[in-house]
């Protein structure tokens, strides 16, 4: 049986503002890796983006990983990462929403 999401969402995200790079699901959690294309990368803008994304796309506990560079796509789920790849991921991964907790990644 297919379940439709029949929520009515106002002020939807603009599709040109993001791209879903990868998504995966299991019985307990949804995972989204998202390329953020918005103009502002400050914490407030990212926070608002993630909250809207969550409202539009998620139906249960969710991890949302937000990146600002498309080169990250080939590093998603790669293990182990070499030093250069780990640095690239750190410098271009900005925000993670795990369940209901926002975690901001800051480059060192």
Condensed to tens digits (0 to 9), the pLDDT of residues 17-62 reads 999 999 999 888 899 999 999 888 788 888 889 889 988 998 888 8
Q: How confident is the model at residue 95 (pLDDT cuts 50, 70, 90)?
A: low
DSSP letters of the chain?
---------SSPPPGGGEEEEEEEE-SS-EEEEEEE--S--SHHHHHHHHHHHHHHH-SSSEEEEEES-GGGGGGTT-SS--HHHHHHHHHHEEEEEETTEEEE----
pTM score of the predicted model: 0.78
User: Average pLDDT in the 79-90 region?
Assistant: 86
């Amino acid at each position: 049986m297919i379940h439709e999401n029949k929520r009515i969402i106002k002020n939807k995200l603009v599709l040109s503002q993001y791209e879903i790079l990868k998504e995966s699901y299991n019985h307990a959690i949804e995972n989204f890796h998202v390329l953020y294309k918005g103009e502002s990368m400050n914490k407030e803008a990212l926070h608002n983006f993630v909250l809207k994304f969550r409202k539009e796309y998620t139906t249960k506990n969710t991890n949302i990983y937000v990146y600002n560079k498309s080169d990250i796509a080939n590093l998603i789920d790669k293990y182990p990462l070499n030093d250069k790849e780990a640095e690239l991921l750190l410098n271009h991964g900005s925000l993670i929403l795990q369940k209901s907790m926002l975690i901001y990644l800051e480059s060192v």
